[in-house]
Structure 1
Amino acid sequence: MPRKIIWKYIKDEKVLGNAIPSCRSFVQTSTGLYQAEIEIILGPLKDGFAIEVKLEKEKIPSYFHLTLKGKGNLGEVNSEAELFLSDHQGSTQLSIQAEANVTGTLSGAAERVLNGGANKGIEKFFQSLEKEMKKNLYLLRKGRKV
């Protein structure tokens, strides 16, 4: 998929909300700032989290910095990521450098899960994101409102 299309949809609140696993709500509150409610399930632990997602330092259409801050009954999560989009053999390559800090009851369970499943979670998110983008493009081509 071309970089300019990915750039457009990677910041679309409807697309992002549908791509985030267990997302109850996802709303853009101002330019580059989103509020979300998600449900986190780690084995027997289940909790709702209020999340703030901030996209900044954009270099259209190739780079942005993302911060995520969330809080639930089981703890807090703070993370930062840099996302790089580049052209690669007729498609777009996405590279991510991320760091997360998890505190509270969640930290012990999350440490075990993240050590074995963080890459799978990120992979699942971007697979869902790609599916949402393709669905929106299909609807646009058919003349339907997205």
Structure 2
Amino acid sequence: MQPPYTAPATEEAVTRVIAFFENLSPADVATIGQFYAPQARFKDPFNEVVGVPAIQGIFAHMFEALEQPRFVVTGRVVQGQQCFLTWDFLFAFKDIHKGVTQTVRGASHLVLDAQGQVTLHRDYWDAAEELYEKLPVVGALMRWLKKRATS
């Protein structure tokens, strides 16, 4: 059985999206509309929005709230007009653990339209393990709950 055909245009669009996110800077947030359809949907553990301006707001806030945030894409699977990316998100908190690089590992499901623009961006990552456990007070509680759940 042959694998499903993936159009070269989709592969190229995914490559452009990956390069965009791996090189994202505060100035690049304004150009998100070059990669996302006007009514694109974005969802992660903290946000669910529709439209380029709302998506730009999420990434602008990321740069305001965190030190040196950046994405490193570690894997990709493209099938038809969809792709699944695995990634590491590296950053430092501005107020706690200042200057200490934190890593969140996650994945994104992207759906692209015929023009190669993202119409759906859904991020999957474990907020409890990847974020809450790294916070001083909440982290201690999360680690305790995790220990209680496994014993």
- TM superposition score category, shorter chain reference: 0.3 to 0.5
Relative contact order, higher structure (CA 8 A, sep 6+): 2
Higher strand share: 1
- TM-score, with normalisation over the residues of structure 2? 0.37
Structure showing greater Rg:
2
Higher helix share: 2
